[in-house]
Structure 1
Amino acid sequence: MHGGARSRFAHGDVLVCDVDHTRLSVLIDVGQSGSERVVSHGSSLGLRVSVVVLQAARIGRFRTKAECWSNHVHLSLGGTLGALKAAATLRRLRLPFSEIERRRRGFVVLQIDALSHHDLSVALERGYMPCLSHLLSSSHQVALWRCGQPSDTAAIQCSMMYGRKPNIPGFYWFDKRKQRPLICSWPLDMATVEAENAGGQAGLFRHGSVYTGMASGGAQRAVFTTSALGRTRFPPRLTGIDAFLLLVLNPWRLARAAILTVAEVFIELYQQAMGRLRRTYVAPEGIFPLTRAFTHVLFRELTTLAIRLDIFRGVPAIYANYIGYDEVAHHLGPRSGGAYRTLKALDRQIRDVHRAIETIALRPYDLFVMSDHGMTESLPFHELYGETLGHFLASHGVSPPMAQEMESRTFKDAATLHQVEELSAEIGPRTSSATSFIVDRAMRVAMRIGTGPLQAGLADNENAPLLAIYSSALANVYFVDVPKRMNRGEIDHRAPGMLRSLVEHPGVGLVLIQENGKTLALHKGGEVVLDNAESDELAWLALYDTPELVRHQLVNLARMPSAGDMLVFGAFDGARVVNFEDHGGAHGGLGGVQMFPFMVSSREISESFAGVEDATELHSFFVQRYQPGSRSPSERPASVSSVAR
């Protein structure tokens, strides 16, 4: 604590607490910096922990020493033991306590990647998420919100963390200035993308922690986060005794992680076999069973452990993205039994984090559970039509008749392998003993396997003038030999008849291009300039959502400097969307539930998330509520909606 807080206690002061009607003394130890530390003296527990144990004292809630002495704190023995265990774990990991004023309310955001509001409702009805169901019946509420375009994690996280619409037109795209593709799953690329799109903003999590995200949001600790990979290590440097004591302090969590990691491989193989027996589409697996084991279990359990420690440390802003559902839903389909079953494990993480907030929190916290976008069931373009979109484009007007394609390909590019090896070497815990050397090797293997399917490679026609880059249900198409964004006249001159053939293809729902500085939408019913279209010209957009809202989202997407010369959206038939990648579930574009994520918040929060039409508005809400001294670049509050439900 700082300022006046330094005079609240003197060295050797003792605070007496009641623990299940058993008297427990707590020693206040004032360090050289003047900040208080609480040392448990419970002789019956046989522990002396020289770190803050808020569960035993909650000294941040009292203004004076006299007031502190006059208030006995009633605690559960389990909560106190949890605090003592967390304190010992922190000491082994050498993690400091937050210096942000402890009376300030904090927030924890748990994101379930790609779970739509609709599929959340289905999961709750089927009993996959009992903890979240209990929260919703007692203290929390859920709302549907709209994420904007593109409906992809990187764009949405940057929008939420910095409050401005980023120049991120997909998960992959081509930068004509740099003459190379940008790939959000490549850490060096994502670090550049985040820096360029931050716009000088410090970031929503500048005093907090971010786990397993694409962007860091300026976090002090960004662990397993793509744009900051290698910057922060968790676990940090460990000795053999450190690793052993962590196992002793957290035996159930670490044992569960080890067992479930192995079990996940066999679960995936079983689900693959059942999917094929039922003749449902299953994406090619490659090394996905091993990927799933590490990303769904190991990183998930470590993330939750780190969040619990952050809550105990008093970190004011915490964000974690759990990717298990997204990975399986892409693979097996968003409404498959395998995808829904991943939510059972994620519900346990919600339970553990909520329990930490209730029992060992160093400050009051609000818990949010959200998704960044949804996912719509899909079938691959090439499965339906016998060729890829790139091959189709190459045979319809482009000269020479060749096209490049870029999509997710496991270990396609040798440069990718080299980058993954370097990054895994960076994030592996540097250790000095045989015990933690094994941990180091395991982390390196996990990162190589876990990032494999996210890597992208170019097709063989690397000198072709046309490049089609696929982000699930959205394709950015570029003429790579033209340094600027092309308009309609230039495209027609370069590839006569291509636009007409593209729009008429049954697998294409919509094409966006530029004409006279405005956004032109080509669809099977005609064409319309979206910037100033009348309402009757937008009726066809009702297939996706409220037409005026979709118009606004598409114009914002098409205006991004890095957007393709043509933006191609997969066709949507009301149930499934055409996917340009080998996925059973799609997002990134238009059609179905991919555009409609959810937000779970406390009922004590009066703001309505049902009116949110873009992720930038979430930034406004969090800044205004938890960082009132900060300025948000997003002007419209999250509680305001211009669209009638």
Structure 2
Amino acid sequence: MWWRPALREAAESLGAAVTSAIALGLAFVVLDAAGARSWLDVLLAAVLIAVGHRLARPVLRVVASVLGIVGAMVAGLAAQVVVAWAALTLVAGIVVRSWLEVLVLLVVASVVLASGRWLVGANDSSYVVGDVLRVAPAGARRGETSGARPRGLLVVQLDGVSREVLVHAVQAGLAPTITRWLRSGSHRLAGWWASVPATTPASQAGLLHGSTAAVPAFRWWDKELGRVVVTNHPVDAALVEARLSDGHGLLAHGGAAVSTMFTGDAPTALLVMSRARGRRGPGPGTAFIRFFASPYVLTRTIGLTLGEMVKELYQGHRQRVRRVEPRVPRRGAYVALRALSNVLLRDLNTAVVAEQLLDGAPTVFVDLVDYDEIAHHAGPLRPEALRALEGLDRVLHVLVQVAARAPRDYAVVVLSDHGQSLGATFEQVEGASLLEVVRDLMTPETGGGRAAAVRSDAREEWSPLNALLGASGGARVTDRSAPAASGRGGARRDAAVDASAGADAEAEPRPEVAVTASGNLAMLWFPRLPGRVPLEEIARRWPLLVDGLLARAAIGVVVAATAHRGPVAIGARGTRLLADGVDLASAVHGQDPLAPYGPRARPDLLRLAGLADAGDLVVVSSVDRYGQVHAFEELVGSHGGLGGAQNDALLLHPADWTVEADLCTDVDGTSRLVGAESVHQQLVRWQRALGVRP
């Protein structure tokens, strides 16, 4: 009947008003200074607050369009206080004495709402989206369509989740939404091989733009620019995208990119790293105003963010008390980082994606980083990391609910960019950082001086916040005049260098060696020498370097170019030529150094060695029989190189879709997509089948 959608809409609005009234009423009970005469007065105030926010939104959208995301946040918060003050003042039976009381009432009411929803097992993110749905066009709310809806594609990236980890989560009951899809037969779980470098920027370059050729690692020395390029710096992300883009990316035809490294040529880019320092920054403020201005939503999110910080402190303490090994310190800035990424950014992303679905974007691609952040510091299969998957599964449930009311009939694909592997860090195993080891091996035995070196201090986990804030960072240069370090605490002199300095970098003296790390993959460059430096030249100049690296138990293989035989993988007890067309007997001398890494090691390292900006030396940590590796960063869960589950990415797609055989390669007896470029090609074919791409 025609009246049923309207009745359902009215019931939803009334239910929201009653829920808000209960929260406000309990807030009045908690605060002695403020008071209300009756519950009816509180209900009337809740209704007035909701109406006031609806009336204020057009003005807020104008403000946000001028001032951007920061203006949207400030205006939204101010509007919440002003509207609440006006509503509470208009109701005769309510007494509030100051703006501060109004603000405290809103915060307490938000905490009550969040606590109540937790007690009844309600979905956290559904509250954010519930507001978006209520202010959406009536046709979208009621699911009205004229005939069959056109198709659409929603791609959700679960950052860092391996296929193996998702299977564990399903078996543990932590992913009920995905479990229902699999058991009902609506979706099929497959995997794909995340080629080296198994990092977010490389995989997203392939997924969104169809090429990873411009991304040899998470961070690298660019000999042409004369500086370190770090992909979670907005300026550098824009530089990389300019090298990648041909204008026909995955999202080129009306798509939307949310919280990604690159745009995929999307006309709508929100919280995208490569656009964070552009004219529109993280995106137009109007895209975020509903989230920031919605009654109780932002204050509730802030409350949950603080709660997440407390949870992290407790969980980190539990690891230390129980002496869980391996582990890394989980204090300092990471506590706030986890809270911001796992609550604030997740809620913001959910709200933004919901709006894009209700606006009918043909393809929407979003990256959710919750699991990846926690797994880096806790471990890929540790309880807190798996619990993050529980939250991501709830987000999927909410987005499917929104998609059911969208003007398009969205198919949902869930994928990851890589997995993660557990292991003690290189520094924990060896007692020194890779940079310190390299400088010692390049230094004459007299110990008189140390090689001038550069390294990047940017951390991958700051990527989402860099996109939100439009932040940029630098590289650290270690001056060659620093005295030899004594163990881990040796003295040295540091100078800050802007990693996006461009031409100014040429004025700085180039370091003798540049060392960067991407998980258990590291690279060394010799910036004072032109082009790719062959192994023979490295051995002549620094005869102790390669052998000294391989003498370390935490290093498994070093890859270098040779003058006449192409790239070679060198291990402690043997070597292997990487070139195609060489039979195994001729390629291997001594023990095969790639044997522990599986059948994809040779082609992956050969491809990596052929990239223009690959290191003069490529270093991969050792891997044990349990798949544990050693990150060259202080991360207990890592990815970037080879070993363990880091290359086992997931692909969850509608069951009636096929992964086409001509795009697949045999990997240890299983036919699967290899490399993000292959996944991109498959996604493009699915787009065309849906009619969202010409």
Give the TM interval when normalised to the shorter protein: 0.7 to 0.9
Aligned to 1:169: 216
Aligned to 1:272: 316
- Offset at residue 309 of structure 1 (A): 1.4
Matching residue within 273, 281, 304 for 1:260: 304
> Is the alpha carbon distance of 1:552 and 1:285 closer, same or farther for their aligned partners in structure 2, counting shifts above 3 Å?
same
> Is the alpha carbon distance of 1:605 and 1:256 closer, same or farther for their aligned partners in structure 2, counting shifts above 3 Å?
farther
Contact conserved, 2:316 with 2:330, CA < 8 A, in 1?
no
- Offset at residue 190 of structure 1 (A): 0.8
Q: CA–CA distance in 1 between the matches of 2:434 and 2:685?
A: 45
SS in 2 for 1:283: coil
CA RMSD of aligned residues (A): 3.7
Contact conserved, 2:175 with 2:393, CA < 8 A, in 1?
yes
Matching residue within 427, 431, 455 for 1:382: 427
Aligned to 1:605: 657
- Offset at residue 393 of structure 1 (A): 1.8
* TM-score, normalised by the number of residues in structure 1: 0.73
2:687 is the counterpart of 1:626: yes
Matching residue within 618, 643, 646 for 1:567: 618
Q: State the Cα deviation string for residues 133-169 of structure 1 (Å, max 9, x = none).
A: 1121111111121011100000110011121232211
Contact conserved, 2:363 with 2:692, CA < 8 A, in 1?
no
State the one-letter code of the partner of 1:468. Answer: V
Q: CA–CA distance in 2 between the matches of 1:82 and 1:594?
A: 33
Q: CA–CA distance in 1 between the matches of 2:291 and 2:329?
A: 40
Aligned to 2:405: 360
2:360 is the counterpart of 1:289: no
Contact conserved, 1:275 with 1:282, CA < 8 A, in 2?
no
- Offset at residue 544 of structure 1 (A): 2.2
2:172 is the counterpart of 1:132: no
Q: CA–CA distance in 1 between the matches of 2:575 and 2:523?
A: 19
2:569 is the counterpart of 1:521: yes
2:482 is the counterpart of 1:457: no
Contact conserved, 1:223 with 1:234, CA < 8 A, in 2?
yes
SS in 2 for 1:222: strand
Question: 1:421-436 counterparts in 2 under 5 A?
Answer: none
> Is the alpha carbon distance of 1:535 and 1:504 closer, same or farther for their aligned partners in structure 2, counting shifts above 3 Å?
same
Q: State the Cα deviation string for residues 356-415 of structure 1 (Å, max 9, x = none).
A: 12x21211211011111000002111111111112212222456542525243689xxxx
State the one-letter code of the partner of 1:19. Answer: R
Contact conserved, 1:376 with 1:585, CA < 8 A, in 2?
yes
Contact conserved, 2:456 with 2:476, CA < 8 A, in 1?
yes
Aligned to 2:162: 116
Question: 1:127-276 counterparts in 2 under 5 A?
Answer: 127-138=173-184, 139-198=186-245, 200-206=246-252, 207-231=254-278, 232=280, 236-237=284-285, 246-248=293-295, 254=298, 256-276=300-320
> Is the alpha carbon distance of 1:403 and 1:380 closer, same or farther for their aligned partners in structure 2, counting shifts above 3 Å?
farther
State the one-letter code of the partner of 2:183. Answer: S
Aligned to 2:594: 541
2:385 is the counterpart of 1:335: no
State the one-letter code of the partner of 2:557. Answer: L
Q: CA–CA distance in 2 between the matches of 1:239 and 1:20?
A: 27
SS in 2 for 1:597: strand
> Is the alpha carbon distance of 1:180 and 1:23 closer, same or farther for their aligned partners in structure 2, counting shifts above 3 Å?
closer
More helix per residue = 2
Aligned to 1:41: none
Aligned to 2:500: none
State the one-letter code of the partner of 1:527. Answer: T
SS in 1 for 2:385: helix
> Is the alpha carbon distance of 1:352 and 1:84 closer, same or farther for their aligned partners in structure 2, counting shifts above 3 Å?
closer
* TM-score, normalised by the number of residues in structure 2: 0.68
- Offset at residue 23 of structure 1 (A): 11
Contact conserved, 1:380 with 1:583, CA < 8 A, in 2?
yes
Structure 1 stretch 217-226 or stretch 564-573: which is displaced more? 217-226
2:364 is the counterpart of 1:312: no
Matching residue within 519, 522, 525 for 1:475: 522
Contact conserved, 1:283 with 1:584, CA < 8 A, in 2?
no
Q: State the Cα deviation string for residues 398-440 of structure 1 (Å, max 9, x = none).
A: 56542525243689xxxx9xx999x88xx6xxxxxxxxxxxxx
State the one-letter code of the partner of 1:625. Answer: W
Aligned to 1:404: 453
2:306 is the counterpart of 1:321: no
Aligned to 1:638: none
> Is the alpha carbon distance of 1:237 and 1:158 closer, same or farther for their aligned partners in structure 2, counting shifts above 3 Å?
closer
Q: CA–CA distance in 2 between the matches of 1:535 and 1:518?
A: 15
State the one-letter code of the partner of 1:572. Answer: V
Q: State the Cα deviation string for residues 507-554 of structure 1 (Å, max 9, x = none).
A: 111111001372111112311211133245576534222x2x321111
Q: CA–CA distance in 1 between the matches of 2:165 and 2:429?
A: 26
Q: CA–CA distance in 1 between the matches of 2:584 and 2:129?
A: 59
Q: CA–CA distance in 2 between the matches of 1:455 and 1:312?
A: 39
Contact conserved, 1:105 with 1:626, CA < 8 A, in 2?
no
Unaligned 5+ segments in structure 2 are 10-50, 59-126, 139-146, 481-493, 495-509, 665-670
Contact conserved, 1:149 with 1:553, CA < 8 A, in 2?
yes
SS in 1 for 2:427: helix
Q: CA–CA distance in 1 between the matches of 2:148 and 2:542?
A: 63
- Offset at residue 625 of structure 1 (A): 2.2
Q: CA–CA distance in 2 between the matches of 1:239 and 1:119?
A: 33
Q: CA–CA distance in 2 between the matches of 1:591 and 1:565?
A: 22
> Is the alpha carbon distance of 1:239 and 1:161 closer, same or farther for their aligned partners in structure 2, counting shifts above 3 Å?
closer
> Is the alpha carbon distance of 1:528 and 1:302 closer, same or farther for their aligned partners in structure 2, counting shifts above 3 Å?
same
Aligned residues: 520
Q: CA–CA distance in 2 between the matches of 1:84 and 1:520?
A: 57
SS in 2 for 1:485: coil
